[in-house]
Structure 1
Amino acid sequence: MSAEDAQKYAQWNKYAEAGIEPEGRVKLLEISEKAPKVEYQDGWSAEEILSDAKGNRQPVEDYLTADSIAQHKQQFSNGASRFQVFEPSTSYQDGIIGGKDGNSFWLPQEHADIIQEVANGDNRRYEIILGFDDGYLGNQPLYRLDASSETVAQKGISIPSGNEDGANSWWRPGGRTYPGDMLEGVMKNISIKEGDITWNIAN
């Protein structure tokens, strides 16, 4: 069994343990299966990128092919979404979403729709699907933020470099979450005050 197949098998079992029906599991796995493949330039690998400490990692353009980067960006052409435990507020970071560096992580909007449908308001399912630690969400509200295609086009979206304030030990190069293998992109200075997003409670 390849490493990729082993990861899918592990995710399938995690989804099953969370009570997600087979139809929902298939929908989640299809997100990664239908996504563009991560393509490295000659001489580069995920292991080499991960060998550098956060803050010293190479720009994505240095090690991914231009075609891979373009295809990844195209996945967000209909808008971007994110789930977070904090209610959006203009009093936090002057209304800027994300980390102290102004960067925030996003999913393609269509993928967020599938995740919300399959999770069906269950915080444990959201934890498994989104890669949060067990119990991280507790029983508190989970907020979904949506950025329109116009906002994404204006602000720009890119593959995370792993140097972002919000990049943790689970980060992997290529614009995929780990271990869930969902597409993710990063945008900077998304502002509540400027009306860059709409939001609602997802659970």
Structure 2
Amino acid sequence: KEGKGADEVKKIVEGGLSESALDSGLTQSQIEKIVNTPKGSRPDPASYLSQEYIEAHLAQFDDGASIIMTKEQYINYVKGNLTIGIPTDRTQFVLPKKYCDDIASKAAGNISFYEKALGFDIGHFSDGGGLVRIDIQNLDGLNLRIPSGNEAGANSHWIPGGKTDGGVPEAILDLIPNDPNNVTVSEIK
């Protein structure tokens, strides 16, 4: 937690990021009903989101996707592995590359900014030895889709509709081949 406090980070994230203008159309009541459904039993997003919304949401990933994780997570779960993602359910949460660029610009190295924007508790990334960014250029064949909230990586911040609680678009992919011709890894700090 460097620089800005949690309240200041929240204010910057809420007012400073290029939030997706797409509106899922879900009411607060619908959101609460889905969130309160036990993980593993939540409905398929196609059952409560329009096809037009889904297509527009996923189009935000046309220029690639990004993953942010701690350096420790990268070393333990990605470096040297054939795939990127959670082996138990074979999924990986991603955000559009252009939103990752925006977060990087606004965060100026502040880990708390990343945590809030991406839907993690403040402090989640603080003990991981810094952050790593993974960019995936070509998503063909990786089954890009809106998360249902049943994924192993869905945490207590997950909300239906394809955005983090920080307003950043998110999606999931199947396990990503860890191929240097399609995957770029860089340290954030």
TM over 0.5: yes
SS of 1:155's equivalent? coil
Residue matched to 2:80: 90
Amino acid at match of 1:182: V
**Mean alpha-carbon deviation: is it higher for 117-126 or for 66-75?**
117-126
* Residue 147, structure 1, aligned to residue 147, structure 2: no
SS of 1:134's equivalent? coil
Q: CA deviation at 1:197?
A: 1.7
Match of 2:155 among 153, 159, 168: 168
Q: CA deviation at 1:35?
A: 2.6
Residue matched to 1:8: none
- Return structure 1 stretches of 4+ with deviation > 3 angstroms: 13-16, 24-27, 193-196
Q: Is the 8 A contact 1:142 1:201 kept in 2?
A: yes
Residue matched to 2:169: 183
Q: CA deviation at 1:70?
A: 0.8
Match of 1:117 among 105, 108, 121: 105
Q: Deviations over 1:77-101 (max 9, x none)?
A: 111111011223134xx43323521
Q: Which structure would you say has the larger Rg?
A: 1
SS of 1:36's equivalent? coil
Q: Is the 8 A contact 1:99 1:165 kept in 2?
A: no
Amino acid at match of 2:86: G
Greater relative contact order (Cα 8 A, min sep 6): structure 1 or 2? Answer: 2
Q: How does 1:117-136 map to 2 (within 5 A)?
A: 117-136=105-124
Distance in 2 of aligned mates of 1:120 and 1:198: 20
Distance 1:134 1:27, change over 3 A: closer
Q: Is the 8 A contact 1:16 1:25 kept in 2?
A: no
The two structures, once aligned, show a CA RMSD in angstroms of 2.7
Distance in 1 of aligned mates of 2:99 and 2:87: 22
Match of 2:21 among 35, 40, 45: 35
Per the normalisation by structure 1, the TM-score is 0.77
Q: Is the 8 A contact 1:98 1:105 kept in 2?
A: no
Between Structure 1 and Structure 2, the one with more helix by share is: 1
Count of aligned positions: 179
Q: CA deviation at 1:45?
A: 1.9
What are structure 1's unaligned runs of at least 5 residues?
1-12
Amino acid at match of 1:201: E
SS of 1:154's equivalent? coil
